[in-house]
Structure 1
Amino acid sequence: MIAKVCSTFIFMVLMGCSESKYTSMVKKELASGVIHDSLFLGLRLGQTRKDFFEICWNLNREKMVTHSEIFPFVKYPLPKKTTSDPEKDMTMLFYGDFDEGKTIMTGMKLQFYYDAWAIWNKALQADQLLLAVKDSLEKWYPGNDFIRVPLEKDSTELFVKVDGNRRITIKPLDDNRMVKAKIDDLRYVLDKE
């Protein structure tokens, strides 16, 4: 229910920009007929809920993922880059978003944080992490760049990227540790929003 309300809110905000850059991008990308369903770790948009849990169970047995301290998310320590600063190691939490019948995965909720986060370390706060998350998502899911979409009710902005049927949003910061994002399959969510 919360996911549906959040998804509806995001859509209303994005659509409220009349024929905005966002609206034009969605129309163009959906008209292209290009389908992007691959996510990560063998997960795909359109999989069943049973497939989601089975894949996560197998990844857990392989010690690639574990349960998160934030229910119901799955915890995935992102692979470390050999050239990167160990202080910048990141963890991604994820959990599938399912249709009303709870059978088909229509999206994926994501949360990112630096493993070494500390309230006094300004370099590891969410405003700095946001740039790294945006850069990573653009590398993992090539295509269009993120655009900034201002929210009507305040001065915050949403980052949005649409490629074919796949929409990725990075939400405005509401926590100085985490950056939250969402991947949606517009074939499932647009008519529900």
Structure 2
Amino acid sequence: MDVYKYLDIDENSRKPKYIQIVDSVTHNISLGHFKMDQKMPSINMLSEEFYLSRDTVEKAYKILKERKIINPVKGKGYYIARTNLISKTNILFLVNKLSSYKLQIYNAFNYSIGANSHTDLQIYHCDESLFLNLLEKYKGAYDYYIVMSHFKSADFKHTSAPESVLKAINKIPKKKLIMLDNLNNKIDGKI
């Protein structure tokens, strides 16, 4: 498996070996050495190849799974799940609709944070279930979540956020959450 020739584990480094594995995998993805859907070595194979404990490799793979960089396929092994967004700060920007005002905010935000980050724009069309599905789908995949919350109630009146949305937003760690444009939401803790 040519994955081994790219993985770099330094015995003399003060950095824990499981972090070295995570860093090496993400670095090689950003360099293009590892491709989407490429099979990764099993936990046992990697631990044998580099003389590491199984727990060390398990810990590294757990972090890679949480970041949605690798996916386990039952009975098959681990595969590279995504090849972009890895070496930069990843931001999910959720807006209710595209308007010139929202695009100005989005563009100004991207301009101010510079090139060391990647921002994905997702539009939820004031739809509560679509918003909740997006949050669930991308849970843990981003470093920061920016939310401009505007929803429509059952009688098509505008509302800041239904209770289910507030509950979902409150599950995002506050240090990763940025609320814009609407401060009427009852978010627990300090943002």
Q: TM-score range by the shorter chain?
A: under 0.3
Larger RCO (CA within 8 A; separation ≥ 6): 1
Larger Rg: 2
For normalisation by structure 1, the TM-score amounts to 0.24
For normalisation by structure 2, the TM-score amounts to 0.24
Which structure carries more strand by proportion? 1
